[in-house]
Amino acid sequence: MVQRHTIGDKLFNIFLYVFMVMMAAITLYPFLNVLAISLNDSVDAVRGGIHIWPRKFTLQNYREVFTYPHLVTGFYISVLRTVVGTVLGLVSSAMVAYVISCREFMFRRFVSGIFVLTLYFSGGMIPEFMLIRKLGLINNFWVYILPGLISGWNVFVLRAYMDTLPENIKESAKLDGANDLTIFFRLILPLCKPVLATIALFIAVGQWNSWFDTFLYTTGNPSLTTLQYEMMRILQNVTVSSTGSMYALGQANAPRVSPESIRMTITVVATVPIVLVYPFLQKYFVKGLTLGALKG
């Protein structure tokens, strides 16, 4: 039977489409505006009036940013810490979540309570710094990975998802002689692909955007600098001359650039790599967050 749409239904659909197009435009405009300013001549950008298309196209802003000496090193370290931190953090959090999701584990409530405490309390910056120094992680690459290896929030999201899986899957595997490691890696992880992709995105974004740990722990070793930290230094090194013009990277002989252009260029450089990863994980994102919450 063919369903007929009334005039009211058609008007509602038209309104819905128009509304969604307007929301998409509102969402995309800030990104297009940032990109347009970064691709526009910096002196001309001071006049304003640039929206989604550069008025005087140039790549000079990007040339200025990429002439900074430690930027390539920072990009390499940021990619490395993002990949290593995401893989190890994801596997570690998933293993803990699997353990506390097992009903036969007698200390599951106690361990869960400890992770709950970490969501509300922390030792503070100074005790954390003292601990990391005692562990010998100052000016060490692993200071980016080990302190935040396991997140209580990630563990609980993963556990909630694992609780929705049928218990007889593990029981059947154990009857066939499989141990917990086999069950975890060959059964549980493949079934948890949506939530794993979601948590991986959270960890990757956190690792990619982090710069304060670089400032605290690795400033004595320039080879461990990160992209976000170098971007912050570039912004600080942009100085204002007596006439109000800007000099990039604090160099007196550098071409003039406006602080707005440098800021927008840095935003694009820091954002694009992680944005390119998101489409590959998008189809798992909503499912990974909501499916585990269906079980009350």
pLDDT in tens, the chain (296 residues): 445 667 877 888 889 999 999 998 888 888 899 999 989 888 888 788 888 888 888 888 888 888 888 888 988 999 999 999 999 999 999 999 999 988 888 888 898 898 999 888 888 888 999 999 999 999 999 999 999 899 999 999 999 888 888 888 888 888 888 888 888 998 889 888 888 988 998 899 899 989 899 999 998 888 999 988 988 888 777 654 333 444 444 444 444 567 778 888 888 888 888 788 777 766 666 655 555 444 44
Q: Which of 53, 84, 3, 60 is nearest to 246 (CA)?
A: 60
Predicted model pTM: 0.78
Sorted by where each begins, the domain ranges of the chain are 7-68+238-290, 71-220
Taking a C-beta distance cutoff of 8 angstroms, is the pair 220, 139 a contact? yes
* DSSP secondary structure code for residue 5 in this structure: P
Q: Angle, to 10 degrees, between the axis of helix 71-101 and the axis of helix 227-237?
A: 140
Q: What are the tokens at 228? A: 């976000």
pLDDT of residue 238: 67
pLDDT of residue 224: 92
* DSSP secondary structure code for residue 293 in this structure: G
pLDDT of residue 252: 46
Task: Tell the burial category of 16 from Cβ atoms under 10 Å away from its Cβ (0-12, 13-18, 19+).
Answer: exposed
- Cα dist from 228 to 63, 86, 208, 266, whole Å: 17, 17, 8, 9
Domain 71-220 carries which CATH code? 1.10.3720.10
